[in-house]
Structure formats: C-alpha cells, structure tokens
Amino acid sequence: MIFSIILILLVVVLDQVTKIWVVNNFQLYESLEVIPGFFNLTYLTNKGAAFGFLAGVDAAWRHYFFLILASIALVLLVVAWFRLHRDHRFYGPALALIAGGAIGNVIDRVRVGAVVDFLDFYVATSHWPAFNVADSAITLGVALFLLTNYLEERQKKHKEE
C-alpha cells in the first residue's frame, strides 16, 4: 500500500511541476521545437476529455460532469486496488499510475478549469493529440493493467490444462 501511495504522489507531483513550469514559461499555444520534425513542447489546454471529447461543448455542466466522473473513477480505482492488488504484484502499481494521473488532471480542472497539455509528438504535419505526464501515467497504468490481466488469464488457463 505504501508503494502505491508513493507512486500516486510521485505521478501527481511530477505532473503538476511540469504543468506549472509550462504555464509559467509559455504563452498559450506557444511552441518550442525540441526534436525537429518529431517533438515540440506546446502549451495547450483541453476542456474536454481524452482526445478533446466534449471540448467543443460550451456548457457549464461540462466542467462539473468531468469532476464528478473523475471522482467516481477514483472511488472505483480504490475499490479495484483493494480487490486486486494481492492477485498480482503489478495490479497495485497499474492502478496507482491510473489514479495518480487522474488526480493530476482533476487538479488542473479545479485550478485552471481545463487540463494543461504540452507534449506534442508529430511526423511532418500529422500530430498526435497533445498530452501531459498525467495522461502518460494513465496510459502506462492501463497498459500494465491489461498486460497483467492477460498474463493472469493465461496462467489460469495453463493451470487448468
């Protein structure tokens, strides 16, 4: 449990420190080319969810919808952690990464009213949607969770044979 709490805190701190640095050193939409033709630091905000889902909806309820949704997700992550962390050693870290990322993005929604994104990967004129450290932690956590689940199922199937 201590490791999961430390991992959550590490993700939240790293996420918030990088976002604060970007907000303090860039103007909105300002971009700094880091690796030509591949990677920029670009200060953007996203009022929607992943890939800008509902970002174009101009309604006050959107902000509260995402805060409530994130709160429910965090409760479900805690429940999942208590149910699964003993089943395999990677479930705990996977859920902690997801929770840390979710908390980081919730902090943005409360503090700024939108999620701060700044990692901009691209090839030629094709850009991947900008993201941040919290998004990276969520993605890594989901991938680790799915991989662990797959390995668990495979191991169970192997034992049954």
Q: Which of 140, 151, 160, 127 is nearest to 42 (CA)?
A: 127
Check: CB of residue 101 under 8 Å from CB of residue 134: yes
User: How many Å apart are CA 159 and CA 5, to the nearest integer?
Assistant: 33
Q: What are the backbone dihedrals phi and psi of residue 2, each rounded to the nearest 5 degrees, phi first?
A: -60, -45
User: How many Å apart are CA 91 and CA 82, to the nearest integer?
Assistant: 10
Active site includes 87?
A: no
DSSP, res 129: P
Check: CB of residue 121 under 8 Å from CB of residue 128: yes
Active site includes 58?
A: no
Residue of 15, 108, 117, 120 with catalytic role: 117
DSSP, res 130: P
Residue of 15, 108, 120, 135 with catalytic role: 135
Catalytic positions, please? 117, 135
